[in-house]
Structure 1
Amino acid sequence: MNALVILAIILLLSMLFVGGRTGLRSFAALFLNFGVLFLMLFFMTNPEVNPIVVTFGASILVGCISLFFTNEVNSKTVLAFVSTLLVTGCMLLFIIYFSETMMIQGFGEEEADSLSGLSLYIGVDFMKVGASVIIVSTIGAILDVAISITSSIHELNKHNSMLRTKELASAGMHVGRDILGADANTLFFAFFGGHLALLLWFKDLQYSIGDIVNSKVFSSELLLILCAGIGVALVIPIASWMSAWYLVKDLSTKRNN
């Protein structure tokens, strides 16, 4: 049996064991998200379509699948979804601006051999494609933190409904600080592990630190890490205060009725 099939079966069994029906939906969500990304790539190859607009639409679909399909529609997932959209919308302009400023579009010297003999006139704006890559790469981390914060605050409110808005938001911020440190390290090691061979190649080519930092490959990945970190940092207070305000208002409405 193919090794990938065996690993997929092990993943499915693990998710079923830990999450039950939710784990099964999470496993199915992986393939649905893959389909969304495939369609996104299909539309991005059309020169008349803005890749950033397509990516933002794909991010909305990924958020719906990851939150509503996996965890069903409830106050936790809705608040996490709204928080993610707000942060992604704020980060969109930020990502576009710095993508243009750092000029990460195009190919670097390291890719010259692979591209030799190929036509580069394919009608695609590589700056927008680079910005789209950053958006897709950050949406997962933002979604993860958003649902973690909203779930924590809902669970806290469930056990102590007398807490006020400020107290619930403060608790969410405390949880978020722990998540922020872990996610920052996760993003860094994901980059380092994914580009370990490239970094070793840079060393063999005797690149200086300045050459490495200013290379397109390194700068684009560094921009990705920084943008993802900023997105994670922004979603923590937004998700915390939105969840706290909603829960206190909802409880007040129920008492008045």
Structure 2
Amino acid sequence: MNVLILLALILFVLMKVIGGEKGTRSFLALFFNFGIMLVTIILMTDQAINPILLTIIACILISCINLFYINQFNFKSLTAFVSTILTLILLIFAVFVLVEKSKIQGFGIEEIEELLSFSFYVGIDFGDIIICTIIMGTIGAITDTAISISSAMNEIYFHNPTLDRYQLFKSGMTVGKDILGTTTNTLFFAFIGGYLALIIWFKDLGYSLGEVLNSKVFASEAMSIFYTGTGAILIIPITAWLSAYSMVKYKDKVRSGEAE
């Protein structure tokens, strides 16, 4: 516990020194997001509440905190929020097909021995739970990408107000391509870091490559990573187009500094 408190203090000090007021808000946002996720998980045990709808509401609230609380309510955060919602709507339709075709819900055979003493009759559809897990895991990546592109395009247009929509869109896509490279690598290394023990376990069990790829534990996490990566890709043109359209349309507000 003392180590956790010490690490939290170090994180807060660094965020405060480097990020200033926004760094402080970012630190507090971590606890707000944790609170939303905790309440969401607790409410999922209530059979009268649809867990998927509950997750969507939680994702919207998390987006509001990450965009409006940290960056305040302005032109770029509003554009990023709308882009996030549009991308989330597209991804929600895709996730139902993904889960239905892949059959990744539930537990893998590697986990059965540890779970034998527990009852699986918890009154919750595991298909809904895996959908909620995938959607929740995606929201952070798409909001991060959306605000990065929107903020960069806002700065570009503020200093180059003669750009038309197409030129501004191309600039946003260029920024997005650079972000995409780092985002996909971040997702990959997050997977490797979080599941390194699982990979070593597969090796000790003597699994072949085919058995690893078809393992429900591995496949569910891998598909979640691919799904999140897809969301991070889709939001790039959506944010770039929406930012280009709205910034040119409301250029007086951007130039007057209201975008900041």
TM-score scaled to structure 2, two decimals? 0.96
Q: 1:44-193 counterparts in 2 under 5 A?
A: 44-193=44-193
Residues in 1 aligned to 2:251 and 2:91: alpha-carbon distance in whole angstroms: 33
- Secondary structure at 2:203 match in 1: helix
Over residues 106-151 of structure 1, what are the superposed CA-to-partner deviations in whole Å (9 max), with x where a residue is unaligned?
1111111210121110001111100111111111000000000000
Residue 254 (structure 1) shift: 9.3
Runs of 4+ in 1 over 4 A off after TM superposition: 252-255
Matched, 1:225 2:247: no
Distance across 2 between alignment mates of 1:92 and 1:213: 24
One-letter amino acid matched to 1:158: F
Q: Distance in 1 between matches of 2:254 and 2:39?
A: 44
Q: 2:217 and 2:49 mapped to 1: Cα distance?
A: 25
Unaligned runs of 5+ in 2: 256-260
Q: Give the Å deviation of 1:207.
A: 0.4
What is the identity, as a one-letter code, of the residue corresponding to 1:212? V
Under a length normalisation based on structure 1, what TM-score does the superposition of the two structures give? 0.97
- Structure 1: give runs of 5+ residues left out of the alignment: none
- Structure 1 118/254 Cα, relative in aligned 2: closer, same or farther at 3 Å? closer
In the TM superposition, residue 48 of structure 1 has moved relative to its aligned partner by: 2.2
**Residues 96 and 128, structure 1, Cα contact 8 Å, conserved in 2:** no
Structure 2 Cα separation of the partners of residues 29 and 45 of structure 1: 25
Q: Which residue of 1 aligns with 2:209?
A: 209
For the pair 1:251 / 2:251, whether they are aligned, the reply is yes
Whole-angstrom distance in 1 between the partners of 2:78 and 2:251: 17
Matched residue count:
255
The 8 Å contact of residues 64 and 81 in structure 1, kept in 2 or not, is answered as yes
Measure how far apart 1:252 and its partner are.
6.5
**1:83-113 CA deviation, whole Å, 9 max, x = no partner?**
0010011000101111111111111111112
Tell me the distance in 2 between the aligned counterparts of 1:27 and 1:253: 30
Residues 245 and 197 (structure 1), Cα distance of their counterparts in 2 relative to 1, 3 Å cut: same
**Matches of 1:228 and 1:27 in 2, distance apart?**
24
C-alpha displacement at 1:181, in angstroms? 1.1
How far, CA to CA, are the matches of 2:187 and 2:216 in structure 1?
A: 19
AA matched with 1:53: L
Q: What's the Cα RMSD here?
A: 1.3
Post-superposition offset of 1:171: 0.3
Residues in 2 aligned to 1:220 and 1:49: alpha-carbon distance in whole angstroms: 24
**SS in structure 2 of the partner of residue 117 of structure 1:** coil
Q: Secondary structure at the match of 1:20?
A: helix
CA–CA distance in 1 between the matches of 2:254 and 2:168? 18
User: Separation in 1 of the partners of 2:209 and 2:188?
Assistant: 18
Identity %: 48
8 Å Cα contact 1:145/1:235 also seen in 2: yes
SS of 2:250's partner is helix
